[in-house]
């Protein structure tokens, strides 16, 4: 389906009362009717290893996911994206792929995957796969052939002789580049007598995107899984696809020192201007978009989507959307609600900055999206504070565009505690027993909480691959479904509201910080009720806000639709918009009628 470029956001800055508000123009019913499925989609990230174990080995698997698709249906999920399920030695838990065309045996078989797709189709849930283009596993046959300089595979990876140290006469890595999990980005291979590049773990050699055969091979991977019925891809670690080329003498330049120092072992950080965010990478994403569009043109069906993972400056990230002449990713993931509070602290002000960073820089006619967590970050509830769990889930659902939920966010799952002995993540294993907690990503990867029973209903094994978080007896699907008011009930109410509300899907957006600790968002659409999200993101103090100071057009009484877990207000009751009291952590969704 062609995208319609009728929704031109109109930016307007309101200086009234010193509030910096932002307004996007209301869209017409005609424009709205042309919205494609992904534009207001609710995406849900499944970490397959930790979702549901069907065969009692302590590891989540595909049949486990299939058995719980009804739960996703009940949650209202439009599309689930699965972290990698491909064949892998699991050095980086599936982000090191040894066969891009097959399923990891401990997760199941290709037939299990087909059964998953079939059941998902019956339930109307789309399945999106994680595409890991930057690197393969060192156990991939392509890498073995490349090491052996087999014809056609010589340049599949980024190889280099290295450089000689003029004072010692010894061979050294080609440049000072560092990998993401600490240590040099270059690894010597005796057999080939060359170094290869790896931006992540040693066992994850970078593919050489300057080789057209690699580009073609990876497009073949995309088409292969499209043929299996997937609705699109979420592409991993895209900004690192391309690195600079060697200079005229065949040498790679060094990165400059960034000025930042590792607070653990005083390692100097390097800039990453030569190995990240190159322009060639943007064009690669445009080419993948063409693969998606061509596939749909030939085979019909709904739009196949391209979602892109980028932790990059906004000016770079926004280019992934495409430009006036070329379509790019449908959605470059927006991590601002993670990254801005991480660098400047969690507050109403930093939340506003995060929202500004996307809505004020997104090109006209594109669709926003909101992410608050994934398997690389600490759990949202732990990062923002448990008191703000509902406030952040509400925000993701109330802001315009697509929402992304990481499994367990709907339950308010918090970080599990993982001992050094139980640590599995390479980012932590590359450190030591004193410092690993600064690097580990295991706490947000603990098994999903289905019930209060053994292993939280995740597995019948005596031991699960990672231990469970301790609070599973109170925070789980079973308990929260039965409760009158729970994080899960709140989440479901939000989904239901967004699904039924034209205003939330198509309306204009205005937002501001009030009283320094309250963040407020208004969504409005001519002829439909307006919605107001208001959250006290402060730590301790109760405040009373006057919403008329934010927006004079609000009626004097608003109806409470959804309230955070500890709110003592009553749903469907009326509240004064110019004297609304909010306890610390209280978050509300109200409507104009």
Q: How far apart are CA 586 and CA 163, in angstroms?
A: 60
Residue 327 binds ligand NAG, judged by CB under 6 A: no
Three-class SS of 277-290: CCHHHHHHHHHHHH
- Cβ 123 vs Cβ 73: under 8 Å: yes
In angstroms, give the least distance from the CB of 169 to ligand NAG: 9
- Cβ 370 vs Cβ 337: under 8 Å: yes
- Cβ 580 vs Cβ 563: under 8 Å: no
Distances (CA, A) of 564 to 4, 87, 336, 395, 413: 36, 42, 23, 12, 15
In angstroms, give the least distance from the CB of 180 to Ca ion: 11
Number of C-alpha atoms within 13 angstroms, CB side, residue 146?
Answer: 27
Number of C-alpha atoms within 13 angstroms, CB side, residue 125?
Answer: 27
Residue 23 binds Ca ion, judged by CB under 5 A: no
* Binding partner at 326 among ligand NAG, Ca ion, none, C-beta below 5 to 8 Å by kind: ligand NAG
Question: From residue 35 to residue 64, what is the string marking binding to Ca ion with x (rule CB under 5 A)?
Answer: ------------------x-x-x-x-x---
Residue closer to Ca ion by CB (options 64, 585) is 64
Segment 125 to 164, residues that bind Ca ion, using CB under 5 A? 134
Q: How far apart are CA 223 and CA 218, in angstroms?
A: 9
- Residue 451's CB: how many other CB atoms inside 10 A? 16
- The 3-state DSSP composition of the chain as helix, strand, coil percent (nearest 5) reads 30, 20, 50
- Cβ 64 vs Cβ 47: under 8 Å: no
Residue 193 binds ligand NAG, judged by CB under 6 A: no
Q: Using only C-alpha atoms, what is the Rg of the chain?
A: 24
Residue 112 binds Ca ion, judged by CB under 5 A: no
State the Cα angle at 72 between 237 and 396, rounded to 5°: 60
Instruction: Given the residues 61, 309, 390, 586, select the one marked as catalytic.
Output: 309
In angstroms, give the least distance from the CB of 229 to Ca ion: 23
Residue closer to ligand NAG by CB (options 82, 340) is 82
Segment 541 to 560, residues that bind ligand NAG, using CB under 6 A? 546, 548-549
Residue 200 binds ligand NAG, judged by CB under 6 A: yes
- Cβ 169 vs Cβ 274: under 8 Å: no
Residue 172 binds ligand NAG, judged by CB under 6 A: yes
Residue 335 binds ligand NAG, judged by CB under 6 A: no
Q: Contacting ligand NAG (CB under 6 A), which of 165, 193, 361, 419?
A: 165
Active site residue 309: yes
At 391, list the tokens. Answer: 């406030």
Residue closer to ligand NAG by CB (options 121, 578) is 578
- Residue 279's CB: how many other CB atoms inside 10 A? 9
* Binding partner at 355 among ligand NAG, Ca ion, none, C-beta below 5 to 8 Å by kind: none
Residue 126, helix vs strand vs coil: strand
Residue 118, helix vs strand vs coil: helix
The stretch near ligand NAG (CB under 6 A) out of 167-175, 223-231, 298-306, 393-401 is 167-175
Q: Contacting ligand NAG (CB under 6 A), which of 249, 266, 343, 568?
A: 266
Active site residue 236: yes
Q: How far apart are CA 413 and CA 407, in angstroms?
A: 9
Residue closer to ligand NAG by CB (options 115, 342) is 342
Q: Contacting ligand NAG (CB under 6 A), which of 156, 286, 406, 575?
A: 286
Q: How far apart are CA 513 and CA 351, in angstroms?
A: 9
Residue 323 binds ligand NAG, judged by CB under 6 A: yes
Question: From residue 236 to residue 275, what is the string marking binding to Ca ion with x (rule CB under 5 A)?
Answer: ----x-----------------------------------
Residue 406 binds ligand NAG, judged by CB under 6 A: no
Residue 262 binds ligand NAG, judged by CB under 6 A: no
Residue 442 binds Ca ion, judged by CB under 5 A: no
Instruction: Given the residues 236, 409, 551, 586, select the one marked as catalytic.
Output: 236
- Cβ 354 vs Cβ 341: under 8 Å: yes
Residue count, binding to ligand NAG (CB under 6 A): 27
Residues that bind ligand NAG (CB under 6 A): 92, 95, 132, 165, 167-168, 172, 200, 236-237, 265-266, 283, 286, 309, 323-326, 374-376, 546, 548-549, 578-579
Instruction: Point out the residues that are catalytic.
Output: 236, 309
């Amino acid at each position: 389906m062609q995208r319609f470029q009728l929704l031109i956001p109109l930016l307007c800055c309101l200086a009234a009362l010193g509030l910096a508000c932002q307004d996007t123009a209301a869209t017409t019913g005609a424009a709205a009717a042309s919205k494609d499925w992904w534009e207001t989609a609710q995406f849900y990230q499944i970490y397959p290893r930790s979702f549901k174990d069907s065969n009692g080995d302590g590891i989540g698997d595909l049949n486990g996911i299939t058995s719980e698709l009804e739960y996703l249906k009940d949650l209202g999920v439009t599309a689930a994206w699965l972290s990698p399920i491909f064949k892998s030695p699991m050095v980086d838990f599936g982000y090191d792929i040894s066969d891009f065309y097959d399923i990891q045996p401990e997760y199941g078989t290709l037939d299990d995957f087909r059964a998953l797709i079939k059941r998902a189709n019956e339930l109307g849930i789309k399945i999106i796969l994680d595409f890991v283009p930057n690197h393969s596993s060192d156990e991939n046959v392509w890498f073995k052939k490349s090491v052996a300089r087999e014809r056609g595979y010589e340049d599949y990876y980024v190889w280099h002789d290295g450089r000689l140290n003029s004072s010692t006469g010894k061979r050294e890595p080609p440049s000072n580049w560092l990998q993401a999990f600490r240590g040099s980005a270059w690894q010597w291979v005796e057999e080939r007598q060359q170094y290869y590049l790896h931006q992540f773990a040693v066992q994850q050699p970078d593919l050489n995107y300057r080789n057209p055969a690699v580009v073609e091979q990876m497009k073949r991977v995309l088409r292969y899984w499209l043929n299996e019925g997937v609705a699109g891809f979420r592409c991993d670690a895209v900004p690192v696809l391309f690195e600079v080329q060697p200079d005229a003498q065949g040498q790679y330049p060094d990165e400059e020192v960034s000025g930042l120092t590792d607070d653990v072992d005083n390692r100097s950080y390097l800039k990453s201007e030569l190995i990240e965010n190159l322009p060639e990478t943007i064009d690669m994403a445009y080419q993948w978009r063409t693969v998606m569009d061509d596939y749909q043109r030939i085979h019909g069906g709904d739009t196949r989507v391209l979602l892109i993972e980028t932790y990059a400056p906004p000016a770079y990230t926004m280019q992934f959307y495409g430009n006036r002449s070329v379509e790019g990713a449908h959605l470059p993931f927006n991590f601002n609600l993670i990254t801005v509070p991480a660098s400047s602290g969690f507050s109403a002000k930093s939340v506003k900055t995060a929202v500004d960073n996307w809505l004020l820089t997104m090109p006209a006619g594109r669709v926003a999206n909101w992410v608050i967590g994934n398997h690389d970050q600490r759990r949202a509830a732990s990062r923002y504070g448990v008191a703000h769990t509902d406030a952040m889930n509400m925000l993701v659902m109330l802001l315009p565009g697509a929402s992304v939920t990481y499994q367990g966010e709907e339950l308010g799952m918090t970080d599990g505690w993982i001992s050094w002995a139980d640590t599995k993540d390479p980012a932590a294993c590359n450190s030591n027993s004193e410092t690993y907690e600064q690097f580990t990503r295991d706490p947000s990867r603990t098994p999903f909480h289905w019930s209060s029973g053994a292993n939280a209903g995740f597995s019948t094994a005596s031991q699960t691959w990672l231990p469970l978080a301790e609070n599973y007896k109170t925070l789980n699907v079973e308990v929260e479904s039965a409760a009158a008011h729970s994080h899960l009930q709140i989440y479901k109410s939000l989904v239901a509201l967004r699904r039924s509300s034209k205003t939330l899907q198509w309306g204009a957006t205005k937002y501001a910080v009030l009283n320094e600790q309250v963040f407020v968002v208004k969504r409005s659409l001519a002829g439909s009720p307006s919605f107001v999200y208001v959250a006290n993101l402060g730590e301790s103090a109760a405040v009373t806000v006057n919403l008329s100071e934010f927006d004079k057009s609000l009626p004097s009484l608003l109806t409470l639709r959804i309230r955070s877990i500890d709110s003592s207000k009553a749903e469907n009751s009326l509240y004064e918009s110019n004297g609304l009291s909010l306890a610390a952590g209280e978050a509300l969704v109200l409507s104009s009628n």
